[in-house]
Amino acid sequence: MRALKTLLIIVLAVVVLALVLGLLGPKHSHLESKTVIAAPASVVWDHVKTLKAENEWSPFLAMEPSAKVIFEGTDGEVGSKSSWAGEKMGKGEQVVNAVDPGKHIGVDLHFIEPFEGKAKGAINLVPKGDSTEVTWSFDSENGFISRIIHVFKDMDAMMGPVFASGLESLKKLCEADVAKQAADLKARTFRGYTIETVDRPAVTYLGKRQKVKWAKLSEFFGQTFPMVAQAAGKAGIKMNGAPSGLYFEWDTAGMQTDVFAGIPIEVAPGTKVDGLALQEVPAGKALKVVYLGAYDKSGDAHEAAHDMIKANGLEMNGPAIDEYVTDPGQEPDAAKWVTNIYYPIK
C-alpha cells in the first residue's frame, strides 16, 4: 500500500507540474531570421514567390529530400497549396494567404503529424541599395504540449539555426544568379554596346535597291523613303514598321554599299508597285544593337556586332539591317535618334 501510495503521489505531482508548466508556458511563439543578400529584390523574389521555388532552398527538404510534396492550385497565387509527408518532416500543409509581388508572401501552416498545430509564415523583402534584406518569420499559437516544451527550450533555440540555414541557401542561389547575369552581360558587351540575341519574325520590305556611295547615302534615303511611303499609300498598302536600310555589301575600297532602302509592309497576294521591289527577310535569330545618335555615326555599333560574331564563331544569315526608329523631322536633336541594328545569324 505504501508503494502504491507513493506512486500515486509521484503521478499526481507530475500531473500537477505538467498543468503548471502548461499554464506558465508561452501561448504564442514568434521566430524570425534575417539576412542581407547581394542581389536586387527582383532576383530574390524569383526564388520565394512560389511554393515550388521555396522548396529549392528549404532547410526542411534538405534534411529529408525523399519527403513527398504535392502542389495544388496556381503556384504563387493566393489559395495555392502544398502538402508534405515524410518520416522526419511528419505531415502537414501550407496555403498561400497573401502576395505582394516583389515584397511579401504569406502562408497558413497546418501541422498534422507528429503534433497537430497551426501557424503563419511570411517572407518579406526590403531593398537595400543593390542588395535585399530578407526576413523569414513564423508565428504560432501554442497548444498545451507545446507550452510545456517551450518552458524548457524557446523557439529561437530550436528553430533559429534551421531558418538561418535556409536563408543561407537562398542567399547562395540568388548571388549565383547575379554572378551568372554579370558574366552573361560581359559576354554580350562589345565596344560599350550590349548586344541581345532576338528572334525576328519574317519581314517584307517595299523599296529600292542599288549601289550607293557612302557620301550619297543620306541623299538616297531622303529621296527613297518618302517615295515608298507615297507609293504604298496610293496602292492601299499598309506600312507596319520603321524605314530601314538593308546592307548586302559594304565596300571599303570603293567606299560604297549595296543597299535596299525600304519600309516594312503587310503583304497581300499580288502585292506589287511599279518602280519598286519587295525584299523579304526570313524569320530567324539576329543580333540586336540599339544605337543612340546621328544615323551616319553608327559605325562603332556595327563593329560591335561584328566583334561578337567573330568572338562566338557565328555566321551571318542575311543583310545587316538598320531600323531608323526616330523621324528626324519630329526630333531635331540627333543625340536622341534611335536606330535598331540587326545582324541575322544562322
Tens of pLDDT, residues 276-295: 999 999 999 999 999 999 98
3-state secondary structure of 281: strand
Least confident range from 95-109, 156-170, 277-291: namely 156-170
Choice between 163 and 146, residue whose per-residue pLDDT is larger: 163
And the C-alpha cell for 75?
503556384
Of 263, 265, 232, 227, the C-alpha closest to 245 is 263
What pLDDT score was predicted for residue 270?
77
Does position 265 have pLDDT exceeding 60, yes or no? Answer: yes
In the chain, ranges of CATH 3.20.80.10 domains: 196-344
Q: Taking residues 143-163, report their average pLDDT.
A: 56
Residue whose entry in the numeric block shows the C-alpha cell 541575322:
344
Burial class of residue 219 in the structure, from the number of CB atoms within 10 Å of its CB (0-12 exposed, 13-18 middle, 19+ buried): exposed
| Cβ neighbours of residue 249 closer than 8 Å, sequence gap 6 or more | 257, 258
Pairing verdict, β 320-324 and 193-194: unpaired
- Choose the most confident range, by mean pLDDT, from 8-22, 55-69, 301-315: 301-315
And the C-alpha cell for 283?
524569320
Q: Are 204 and 279 in contact (CB under 8 A)?
A: yes
d(CA 76, CA 318): 43
Q: Taking residues 119-137, report their average pLDDT.
A: 95
pLDDT category at 311 given cuts 50, 70, 90 is: very high
d(CA 41, CA 19): 47
- For residue 26, is the peptide bond before it cis, meaning its omega torsion is within 30 degrees of 0? no
Does position 151 have pLDDT exceeding 70, yes or no? Answer: no
| Cβ neighbours of residue 264 closer than 8 Å, sequence gap 6 or more | 203, 204, 205, 239, 240, 241, 242, 244
pLDDT of 300-309, one tens digit each?
999 999 999 9
Of 263, 250, 239, 325, the C-alpha closest to 288 is 325
pLDDT category at 339 given cuts 50, 70, 90 is: very high
CATH number given to 22-177: 3.30.530.20
pLDDT category at 116 given cuts 50, 70, 90 is: confident
Percentage of the chain with pLDDT > 70?
86
pLDDT category at 142 given cuts 50, 70, 90 is: low
DSSP 265: B
In the chain, ranges of CATH 3.30.530.20 domains: 22-177
The domain 196-344 is placed in CATH, from the list 3.20.80.10, 3.30.70.890, 3.40.50.970, 3.40.50.300, at 3.20.80.10
Sheet holding 68-72, edge to edge: 28-37, 131-141, 117-128, 104-113, 90-100, 81-86, 68-72
Task: List residues bridging with 245 in a β-sheet.
Answer: 261, 322
Choice between 177 and 145, residue whose per-residue pLDDT is larger: 177
d(CA 67, CA 93): 13
